[in-house]
Structure 1
Amino acid sequence: MANPFEKRASEYRRDDEAFLPLVTPDPLITFFKKYADDGKLYDQLSVIIGAPGSGKTTIARLYQYSTLKTLLRHESQINFKPLVDTLTQCGAIKDMQPILLGGRVPLESEYRDFWEFPYPDDLKCKLMFALIQSRTILSWISNLTNTGIELDQISIAPRDDAVAALAAIGGIGGRDLFLKARTIEEQIYNISAALLPPAIDAIDDETAAAYHPFDVIEHFEITVDGDTKVLRPLVIFDDAHNLHPEQFTAFREWLARRELKISRWVLTRMDALSPEDVLLAQSEGNTTRPGLKDARELNVIWMQSQDDRFGKRKAFRKMAKGMATRYLRQMDVFARRGISDLADFIGTQPDMIAPSKLEALASSIDTLQHKNGISNKRRKILESQVSEYLAGTGHESKDVALAILSILFHRYLNRVPQKGLFDDQEEDVEPNRPLTVDGGIADGAKVRLLHDFDRPYYYSIDALCDASSENAEQFLHLASTLVTQAETQLIREKPASLSSRDQNRLLRKKAGEIYRGWDFPHNREVKLLAEGIAKQCVAKSLEGNASLGGGAGAGAFGILQEEFDQIPKKHEELARILKFGAAYNAFVLVQNHSTKNRKWCQIELCGVLRVHFGLSQTRGGFLERKTDDLLSMLKPN
């Protein structure tokens, strides 16, 4: 079969049996469980925002009633138990039965085309809302009938205050509901599909105006052999970013009404939001968010939240490894050899630089020592610290030891008085601050070896996960190049294992392809910012004393938070560029980062950009800059 890593789980549309083995429960725990626990997930309108590939459509398909029924038919399989348990914790399943009637309604481009018609906004809203409600009814009923339930076994319980509106939606019976919804859909679709928009006086909008099933339905009831089950309806509107901005605002306000009893989710990319919503959404003290402002009416779930970033990275590693295992099981060439884990063929042993390069590195450090009068005694002290640190990590490597020693020499020279021409060159001077060796310096040394000697830096399953910036689709794209290479080796009767050098080469090549292949609004300007930030971060990271990020280097620009908050008002074009950079996972905006008793917004490069430009995956190091520095990068040379 084709490499499944080149597809997303949501693209396995053949049937639920093919889809479910690829779904991991971790995103539900990470993003949904806390909202289910506090009762907001199904009671309020939930707007779920994520970059492409963050898993929105996968979740939408998983929550459909027919998918839940399929899952529970196979719940005895050990691989499905964690997913069943998680959906139970998230309130979709109870006593091994679905309690939600989930239906997915994709908001495809035809809705936006409909909005362009030359009608008053209130008429366009009236027709759009009726069309959406009719298709939701059809989706709910289709989910039920796909599991073997007959139309005559379906009914609704109306709200006490909405009995008078029953006739307009067809009544309480499943068959009548279905026929009415089909009629409404056909009437409105004929308007939207017309080559020329009908004249206003030719549109019979009275039927659409009276059709309000969302205002009527309390819950669904399924009666089979005298046994009645109650299901809470959940409508999942996918791809809401396809809507016109004004259309999206009207749609959101309509769904946010408190009196609605049905559960409703809107899944969207950041495209649908204003620059203010994207840039300031997680800024402390920001209360002016036109699209996402009333917490009493709206539950906003960011699927790339900056909260607990260490925990999110750790959770994503676990999720990605589980996802990779599920995908590998679909590939016979690996299954026949008992390979079910990426770690089975992704090596963790680093390849050292060539002996000639090692000799050149050692010679450069000797020159640095003698040129600056560093005593042999001081060198031995520093070498002992390096050796002790590397022994503790279990990864002693001569090239890394020398690169760390180089950084320590530069730091030592910055912390002792400069020697005069006639000073004793062998005198050992104590630095004004102690020198220590830690993971940050070691990481910075490895980045330097990558640039100076092409020593592999991006290898191992954790490095692959971190390069994905907690984005499932990005992970699959990057992993696919490693899986394809391992598969080719197996087909040629060679071992599947990939050396660190192979991994580093393949991942950097793939990262470059992804970067060059960006095709989203303002991608050219986003690339200009990305390149400008990256070049300055590389230059800073390669400075002799490795001063930033604990030694690991820089991977972001930092703008004072109060200055960044003014960008949407003062620099609209820059705000749009940053919005699309964040929306398509080029940047991560880390708001309210505390350093030097100030609050900063970090414009952090994503993992793919770090791999492409050769930067550390360690987060935190940033260059202090101003808005004008960003603007200057966008000016033509």
Structure 2
Amino acid sequence: MANPFEKRASEYRRDDEAFLPLVTPDPLITFFKKHADDGKLYDQLSVIIGAPGSGKTTIARLYQYATLKTLLQHESQTNFKPLVDTLTQCGAIKNREPVLLGGRVPLESEYRDFWEFPYPEDLKCKLMFALIQSRTVLSWISNLVSTGVALEQISIIPRGDAIAALAAIGGKDGISLFNKARAIEEQIYRISAALLPPSIDDIDDEAAAAYHPFDVIERFEIRIGEQKTVLRPLVIFDDAHSLHPEQFTAFRQWLARRELKISRWVLTRMDALSPADVLLAQGESNTKRPGLKNARELTVIWMQSQDDRFSKRKAFRKMAKGMATRYLRQMDVFSRRGIQDLTDFISTRPDTIAPSRLEALASSVDSIQQKNGISDARRKSLEELVADYLSSTGLEGEDVALAMLSILFHRYLKRIPQKGLFDHQDQDVEPNRPIKVDGGIADGAKVRLLHDFGRPYYYDIDALCDASSENAEQFLHLASTLVTQAETQLIREKPASLSSRVQNRLLREKAGQIYREWDFPHSQQVAVLAEGIAQQCVAKTLEGNASLGGGAGAGAFGIPQEEFDEIPKKYEELARILKFGAAYNAFVLVQNHSTKNRMWCQIELSGVLRVHFGLSQTRGGFLERTTDDLLSMLKSN
């Protein structure tokens, strides 16, 4: 079969049996459980925002009623218990039965066509809302019918104050409800599909009339024999970024009404948001956002949250490894050989540099010592610090030890007074601050070995996960190149194992390909900023004393927060560029980062860009810059 890593889970649409084994429960715990616990996930409008590939459509499909029923039917036959337990915690399942009647409605470009009609805005909204509601009702009923429920067994429980409006939606029983929804859909579809929009006078009164099932329906009731099941309807609007911006605003305001009893989710990319919404978002705790109103009206779920980024990275690693295992099991060439996990063929042992290059590295370190008059005793003490650290962490490699020693030499020289012409050159001077060795220095040493000697840096499963910037689709794209190589080796009757050197080469090639194939709004300007930031970060990272990020180097620009907050008002073009950079996995905007008694917004390069340009995946190190620096980079190209 084709390499499943080249697809997303949501693309496995043959049937739910093929889709469900690829779904991992971790994103539900990370992004949904908290909102389910506080009672907002199903009681008010939830706007779920994520970059392409963050898993929005996978979640939308999972929450459909038919998918939940399939999951529960196969729970005992497969390893679905963790997913069932998680959905139970998130309030979608109770006592091993769905409590939600979920239906997914994709908002394709067809809906945006309404905004191009030469009609008053009020009429355009009425037509769109009527079509959306009719298709939602059809989706709910279709989900029920696909699980074996007959139309005759379906009815609705209307809101107590909406009895009079029942006739407008067809009545309470499933047959009438279905027929009315189908008729409304056909009437409005004829309008949207016309080569020339009909005049207002020619529009069927019924199509533009008050068809408002969302205002009427409170619950669905299923009667099979003596058994009665009551379900809460959930509509999941996917790809809402396809709507016109003004249309999206009207759509969101319409759904945010408190009197609606149905659960409603809107899934969108950041494209649909204004630059201010994206650039000034303060994470989930912020209750007021321009354009997004406040938490009393809706719940906003950012699927790339800034909160507790260490834990989010750790959680994503777990999720990605589980996802990779699920995908790998779909490939016969691996399962026949008992290979069930990426770690079965991804080496964690680094390939060190060649002896001739090691000799050149040692010579350069000796030269630093001799040129700057560093005593043998001082060198020995620094070598002992390095040896103790490497021994305690299990790291290996004479090349890493020498590169770390080079950094310590430069740090030592920065911390002692400059020697005069007549000073004893072999005199040992104590530094004004103690010199310590930690993971940052080790990481910085490995980064410079990558640049100076081609030593592999991007290898093993954690490096693969971190390069994905907590984005599932990005992870699959990067993993696919490793899986394809291992598959080729197996087909040629060779071991599947990939050395660190091969992994490093393949991942950097793939990252470069992803970068070069960017094709989204303002992608050229985003690339200009990305390259400018990366070049300056590389230069700073490779400085002798590795001063930033604890030694690991820089991977971001830091703009003073108060200055960054003014960008949407003062620099509209720059705001749009940063918005699309964040929306398409080029940048991560880390707001309100405190350093040196000042708040900063970090414009952090994504994992893919760090791999392409050769930067550490360790977060935190940034270069202090201003808005003018960003504008200058754009003007020079």
Residue 10 (structure 1) aligns with: 10
Residue 576 (structure 2) aligns with: 576
1:396 and 1:265 map into 2 onto residues whose CA distance is 50
- Equivalent position SS for 1:43: coil
Whether the 8 Å CA contact 2:283–2:307 is kept in 1: the answer is: no
Deviation at 1:290, TM superposition (A): 3.5
1:285 and 1:479 map into 2 onto residues whose CA distance is 33
Whether the 8 Å CA contact 2:284–2:305 is kept in 1: the answer is: no
- Equivalent position SS for 1:209: coil
Residue 429 (structure 2) aligns with: 429
- Which amino acid is 1:245 matched to? P
- Equivalent position SS for 1:612: helix
Residue 370 (structure 1) aligns with: 370
Residue 23 (structure 1) aligns with: 23
Residue 61 (structure 1) aligns with: 61
1:65 and 1:342 map into 2 onto residues whose CA distance is 33
Residue 491 (structure 2) aligns with: 491
1:177 and 1:264 map into 2 onto residues whose CA distance is 19
Residue 170 (structure 1) aligns with: 170
2:376 and 2:291 map into 1 onto residues whose CA distance is 65
Deviation at 1:77, TM superposition (A): 3.2
List gaps (5 residues or longer) in structure 2: none
2:223 and 2:582 map into 1 onto residues whose CA distance is 48
Q: Is it true that 1:545 corresponds to 2:536 in the alignment?
A: no
Residue 420 (structure 2) aligns with: 420
Whether the 8 Å CA contact 1:6–1:480 is kept in 2: the answer is: yes
Q: Is it true that 1:464 corresponds to 2:464 in the alignment?
A: yes
- The two structures, once aligned, show a CA RMSD in angstroms of 1.1
Change (3 A) 1:286 1:394: closer
Residue 90 (structure 2) aligns with: 90
Q: Is it true that 1:396 corresponds to 2:403 in the alignment?
A: no
Residue 564 (structure 2) aligns with: 564
1:283 and 1:348 map into 2 onto residues whose CA distance is 35
Deviation at 1:291, TM superposition (A): 1.8
1:426 and 1:209 map into 2 onto residues whose CA distance is 93
Map residues 304-319 of structure 1 onto 2, 5 A cutoff: 304-319=304-319
1:636 and 1:551 map into 2 onto residues whose CA distance is 31
Residue 188 (structure 1) aligns with: 188
Deviation at 1:421, TM superposition (A): 1.9
Whether the 8 Å CA contact 2:333–2:487 is kept in 1: the answer is: yes
Residue 406 (structure 1) aligns with: 406
Change (3 A) 1:363 1:447: same
- Which amino acid is 1:35 matched to? H
User: Could you give the per-residue CA deviations for residues 81-138 of structure 1, whole angstroms, max 9, x where no partner exists?
Assistant: 1000000000000000000000000000011112110000000001100000000000
1:44 and 1:394 map into 2 onto residues whose CA distance is 51
Map residues 26-37 of structure 1 onto 2, 5 A cutoff: 26-37=26-37
Change (3 A) 1:497 1:312: same
1:624 and 1:78 map into 2 onto residues whose CA distance is 52
2:173 and 2:288 map into 1 onto residues whose CA distance is 45
Deviation at 1:581, TM superposition (A): 0.2
Residue 597 (structure 2) aligns with: 597
Deviation at 1:420, TM superposition (A): 1.5
1:142 and 1:78 map into 2 onto residues whose CA distance is 26
1:617 and 1:118 map into 2 onto residues whose CA distance is 51
1:91 and 1:208 map into 2 onto residues whose CA distance is 36
Deviation at 1:288, TM superposition (A): 6.6
Whether the 8 Å CA contact 1:283–1:592 is kept in 2: the answer is: no
Over the matched positions of the two proteins, sequence identity in percent amounts to 85
1:52 and 1:483 map into 2 onto residues whose CA distance is 22
Residue 384 (structure 1) aligns with: 384
- Which amino acid is 1:327 matched to? Y
After the TM superposition, which segments of 4 or more aligned residues of structure 1 sit over 3 Å from their partners?
A: 205-208, 283-290
2:566 and 2:277 map into 1 onto residues whose CA distance is 13
Residue 256 (structure 1) aligns with: 256
- Which amino acid is 1:384 matched to? E
1:389 and 1:445 map into 2 onto residues whose CA distance is 13
Change (3 A) 1:443 1:239: same
- Equivalent position SS for 1:210: coil
Deviation at 1:575, TM superposition (A): 0.1
1:29 and 1:594 map into 2 onto residues whose CA distance is 28
Whether the 8 Å CA contact 2:283–2:305 is kept in 1: the answer is: no
2:19 and 2:196 map into 1 onto residues whose CA distance is 40
Map residues 80-159 of structure 1 onto 2, 5 A cutoff: 80-159=80-159
2:396 and 2:54 map into 1 onto residues whose CA distance is 37
1:284 and 1:185 map into 2 onto residues whose CA distance is 37
- Equivalent position SS for 1:265: strand
List gaps (5 residues or longer) in structure 1: none
Whether the 8 Å CA contact 2:43–2:261 is kept in 1: the answer is: yes
Map residues 229-378 of structure 1 onto 2, 5 A cutoff: 229-282=229-282, 289-378=289-378
User: Could you give the per-residue CA deviations for residues 612-636 of structure 1, whole angstroms, max 9, x where no partner exists?
Assistant: 0000000000000000000011114
Deviation at 1:208, TM superposition (A): 3.3
2:428 and 2:396 map into 1 onto residues whose CA distance is 27
1:336 and 1:219 map into 2 onto residues whose CA distance is 49
Deviation at 1:325, TM superposition (A): 0.2
Residue 632 (structure 2) aligns with: 632
2:492 and 2:284 map into 1 onto residues whose CA distance is 57
- Equivalent position SS for 2:41: helix
User: Could you give the per-residue CA deviations for residues 285-307 of structure 1, whole angstroms, max 9, x where no partner exists?
Assistant: 98873321221011000000000
1:288 and 1:473 map into 2 onto residues whose CA distance is 30
Whether the 8 Å CA contact 2:187–2:207 is kept in 1: the answer is: no
Deviation at 1:510, TM superposition (A): 0.2
- Which amino acid is 1:469 matched to? S
1:200 and 1:125 map into 2 onto residues whose CA distance is 14
Deviation at 1:225, TM superposition (A): 1.0
User: Could you give the per-residue CA deviations for residues 437-488 of structure 1, whole angstroms, max 9, x where no partner exists?
Assistant: 1000000000000000000000000000000000000000000000000000
Deviation at 1:204, TM superposition (A): 2.4
- Count of residue correspondences: 637
Deviation at 1:78, TM superposition (A): 4.6
2:333 and 2:420 map into 1 onto residues whose CA distance is 68
- Which amino acid is 1:93 matched to? I
2:207 and 2:474 map into 1 onto residues whose CA distance is 46
Residue 501 (structure 2) aligns with: 501
If the length of structure 1 is used for normalisation, what is the TM-score? 0.99
Deviation at 1:26, TM superposition (A): 0.2
1:493 and 1:252 map into 2 onto residues whose CA distance is 56
Residue 529 (structure 1) aligns with: 529
1:287 and 1:439 map into 2 onto residues whose CA distance is 37
Map residues 208-223 of structure 1 onto 2, 5 A cutoff: 208-223=208-223
If the length of structure 2 is used for normalisation, what is the TM-score? 0.99
User: Could you give the per-residue CA deviations for residues 367-421 of structure 1, whole angstroms, max 9, x where no partner exists?
Assistant: 1100000000000000010001001111221000000000000000000011112
1:390 and 1:493 map into 2 onto residues whose CA distance is 37
For structure 1, which segment, 274-283 or 487-496, has the greater mean C-alpha deviation from structure 2 after superposition? Answer: 274-283
1:78 and 1:330 map into 2 onto residues whose CA distance is 14
1:137 and 1:293 map into 2 onto residues whose CA distance is 28
2:489 and 2:286 map into 1 onto residues whose CA distance is 54
- Which amino acid is 2:183 matched to? T
- Equivalent position SS for 2:340: coil
Residue 613 (structure 1) aligns with: 613
- Equivalent position SS for 2:365: helix
- Which amino acid is 2:347 matched to? G
